[in-house]
C-alpha cells in the first residue's frame, strides 16, 4: 500500500503548489522617483485610461502622437493604443472597457524612454484593480396620473460606469403577477446613475402591492433582492411614506396615497416638535414641510385628519411618527489625482468643500 500512496501524495503536493496564483512583485515608486512620478493605482473605473506620469520630459514624440505599444506590457492582455498626453505623461487607452473586478499588472520599459539608465531601473512594474460591479435601487414617492393609475420614480446607482442597456436588465416590477412597464431616462448611454419610472400602476378598490425585483447577473454582480411597495385602495386616503431630505434645503417629505388639494391651509394640520410656522409646498401626492430652523435629533411628527385630497376627502386617520434628523457632516472632494511623494516640495493639497 505504501508504494501506491507515496507517488499519489507527491503528485497531489505538486498539483496544489503549481495551481497557486503566481505573485507579481511591483516596484517601489519612491525608489523610481527620478523616473516615475505617478501611475494609475488602487481601484479604478473600467473606463479610465492607464496613466503613466514621468518625472522627466520625453522628446522622442510629439504631444498627442501615438507611440510604440511595446513600451508597455499589460497583463491580462488588453488591446488599445499608447499616446503621449503631454511632455511627461503617457496614456494607454483601451479599445474597449477594461474587465471589471480584475487586477492588472503593467510594466514600463524605462530603458526605451531614457538613455544611460542603470539596469535596476530598466523596467518599472505597477498594479491596479478595476471596481467590483455592484448597484443599489432607490424608489421614491408614489404619484398619481389619475384615480386609477399611479407611478413611482426611482434611481439606480452603480459602483462603476454601466450602459443603459445593462441597467434595464437589472430591475423589473410586477403587480398581481403582471409585468409593469419601466420607463428609463436615456439621456446618457453610459453612466453610474440612471433615473427610471415604474409606470401604469393600477389602483384597485382594495389595498394592493407591487413587487420590485433586481438581479445583477447582467453586470456580473451577485446583488439580487426585492422590495414590496403597498398601493392603497381607491377609497383609502392615507400616508404611505415619510422622509427627511437634507439637500439642497432641509425639509420633511410626506407622501400621500392621493394628490393633495392645493388650495388648503395646512397650519395646525402638520406638527413638527419644536417648530413654529413651517412653510408648505404641495407637489402632487407629496407635501413638503420646511421648518424655520435646522432640525437635529429625534423629533415627533404629527399629521392630523383635516388634510384633504383633490376630491375633498379628508385623511382617514391621524398619523404620528418619531424620526431622526441627522446633522450632515461636511464633505471634502479631492480635485484631480496623484501621489504625494516624501520629497515633494511646495506641496499644494487642493480640495473642494
What CATH number is associated with residue 341?
2.60.40.1220
| Residue of 282, 279, 320, 285 lying closest to 303 (CA atoms) | 320
Residue 311 and residue 247 in one domain:
yes
Query: Out of 9-13, 204-208, 252-256, which region has the weakest mean confidence (pLDDT)?
Result: 9-13
Q: Evaluate if residue 220 carries a pLDDT over 90.
A: yes
Whether residue 87 lies inside any domain: the answer is yes
Q: Cell triple for residue 154?
A: 426611482
Q: How far apart are CA 110 and CA 87, in angstroms?
A: 15
With residue 210 as reference, give the H or E element that holds it: strand 208-215
Q: How far apart are CA 139 and CA 87, in angstroms?
A: 48
Strand order in the sheet with 149-163: 135-144, 149-163, 190-202, 182-184
Distances (CA, A) of 5 to 2, 8, 10, 12: 5, 5, 9, 10
Residue 170 and residue 219 in one domain:
yes
According to the model, what pLDDT value does residue 345 have?
A: 43
According to the model, what pLDDT value does residue 322 have?
A: 92
Q: Evaluate if residue 260 carries a pLDDT over 80.
A: yes
> What pTM value is reported for the model?
0.81
Q: Evaluate if residue 318 carries a pLDDT over 70.
A: yes
Residue 154 and residue 243 in one domain:
no
Q: How far apart are CA 311 and CA 301, in angstroms?
A: 25
Whether residue 50 lies inside any domain: the answer is yes
CATH label of the domain that carries residue 50: 2.60.40.3710
Q: Evaluate if residue 215 carries a pLDDT over 80.
A: yes
Residue 125 and residue 181 in one domain:
no
According to the model, what pLDDT value does residue 264 have?
A: 94
According to the model, what pLDDT value does residue 7 have?
A: 45
In the 3-class helix/strand/coil scheme, how is 179-192 assigned residue by residue? ECCEEECCCCCEEE
Residue 147 and residue 221 in one domain:
yes
Q: How many domains does the chain have?
A: 3
Across the range 96-113, mean pLDDT stands at 96
Whether residue 6 lies inside any domain: the answer is no
Q: What is the dihedral of CA 285, 290, 295, 299, to 10 degrees?
A: -40
Q: How far apart are CA 98 and CA 43, in angstroms?
A: 12
Q: Evaluate if residue 12 carries a pLDDT over 90.
A: no
Residue 225 and residue 241 in one domain:
no
Sorting pLDDT into bands at 50, 70 and 90, what band is 348?
A: very low
Across the range 311-333, mean pLDDT stands at 80
CATH label of the domain that carries residue 214: 2.60.40.1630
Domain finish residue from 206, 236, 266: 236
According to the model, what pLDDT value does residue 329 have?
A: 62
Domain finish residue from 109, 130, 151: 130
Of 274 and 17, more confident = 274
Residue 195 and residue 111 in one domain:
no
Whether residue 11 lies inside any domain: the answer is no
Collapse the DSSP code of 25 into the 3-class scheme (helix H, G, I; strand E, B; otherwise coil) and give the result. coil
Sorting pLDDT into bands at 50, 70 and 90, what band is 103?
A: very high
CB 194 within 8 A of CB 184: yes
According to the model, what pLDDT value does residue 295 have?
A: 86
Residue 312 and residue 207 in one domain:
no
Whether residue 154 lies inside any domain: the answer is yes
Sorting pLDDT into bands at 50, 70 and 90, what band is 324?
A: confident
Range of the domain at 250: 237-353
Residue 277 and residue 331 in one domain:
yes
Whether residue 5 lies inside any domain: the answer is no
| Residue of 113, 106, 111 lying closest to 56 (CA atoms) | 113
Q: Evaluate if residue 245 carries a pLDDT over 80.
A: yes
Query: Out of 19-33, 82-96, 142-156, 254-268, which region has the weakest mean confidence (pLDDT)?
Result: 19-33
Whether residue 249 lies inside any domain: the answer is yes
- Secondary structure letter of residue 261 according to DSSP: P
Mean pLDDT of the chain: 88
Across the range 110-126, mean pLDDT stands at 93
Residue 86 and residue 103 in one domain:
yes
For the chain, percent of residues with pLDDT exceeding 70: 86
Residue 123 and residue 149 in one domain:
no
Residue 144 and residue 107 in one domain:
no
Across the range 230-244, mean pLDDT stands at 95
Q: How far apart are CA 170 and CA 165, in angstroms?
A: 9
Whether residue 14 lies inside any domain: the answer is no
Domain finish residue from 171, 205, 236: 236
| Residue of 32, 183, 51 lying closest to 104 (CA atoms) | 51
Amino acid at each position: 500500500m505504501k508504494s501506491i500512496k507515496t507517488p499519489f501524495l507527491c503528485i497531489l503536493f505538486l498539483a496544489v503548489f503549481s495551481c497557486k496564483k503566481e505573485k507579481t512583485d511591483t516596484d517601489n515608486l519612491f525608489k523610481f522617483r527620478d523616473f516615475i512620478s505617478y501611475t494609475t493605482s488602487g481601484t479604478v473605473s473600467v473606463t479610465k485610461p492607464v496613466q503613466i506620469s514621468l518625472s522627466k520630459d520625453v522628446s522622442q514624440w510629439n504631444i498627442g502622437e501615438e507611440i510604440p505599444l511595446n513600451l508597455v506590457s499589460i497583463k491580462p492582455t488588453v488591446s488599445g493604443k499608447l499616446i503621449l498626453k503631454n511632455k511627461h505623461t503617457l496614456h494607454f487607452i483601451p479599445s474597449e472597457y477594461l474587465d471589471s473586478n480584475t487586477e492588472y499588472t503593467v510594466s514600463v520599459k524605462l530603458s526605451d524612454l531614457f538613455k544611460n539608465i542603470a539596469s535596476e531601473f530598466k523596467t518599472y512594474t505597477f498594479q491596479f484593480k478595476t471596481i467590483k460591479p455592484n448597484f443599489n435601487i432607490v424608489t421614491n414617492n408614489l404619484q398619481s396620473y389619475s384615480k386609477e393609475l399611479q407611478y413611482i420614480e426611482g434611481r439606480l446607482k452603480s459602483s462603476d460606469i454601466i450602459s443603459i442597456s445593462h441597467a434595464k436588465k437589472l430591475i423589473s416590477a410586477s403587480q398581481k403577477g403582471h409585468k409593469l412597464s419601466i420607463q428609463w431616462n436615456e439621456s446618457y448611454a453610459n453612466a453610474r446613475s440612471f433615473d427610471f419610472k415604474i409606470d401604469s400602476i393600477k389602483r384597485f378598490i382594495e389595498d394592493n402591492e407591487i413587487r420590485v425585483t433586481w438581479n445583477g447577473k447582467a453586470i456580473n454582480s451577485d446583488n439580487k433582492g426585492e422590495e414590496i411597495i403597498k398601493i392603497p385602495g381607491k377609497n383609502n386616503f392615507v400616508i404611505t411614506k415619510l422622509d427627511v431630505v437634507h439637500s439642497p434645503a432641509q425639509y420633511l417629505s410626506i407622501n400621500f396615497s392621493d394628490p393633495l388639494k392645493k388650495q388648503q391651509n395646512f397650519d395646525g394640520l402638520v406638527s413638527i416638535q419644536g417648530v413654529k410656522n413651517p412653510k408648505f409646498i404641495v407637489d402632487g401626492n407629496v407635501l413638503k414641510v420646511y421648518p424655520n430652523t435646522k432640525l437635529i435629533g429625534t423629533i415627533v411628527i404629527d399629521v392630523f385628519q383635516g388634510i384633504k385630497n383633490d376630491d375633498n376627502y379628508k385623511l382617514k386617520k391621524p398619523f404620528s411618527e418619531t424620526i431622526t434628523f441627522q446633522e450632515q457632516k461636511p464633505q471634502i472632494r479631492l480635485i484631480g489625482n496623484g501621489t504625494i511623494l516624501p520629497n515633494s516640495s511646495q506641496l499644494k493639497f487642493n480640495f473642494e468643500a
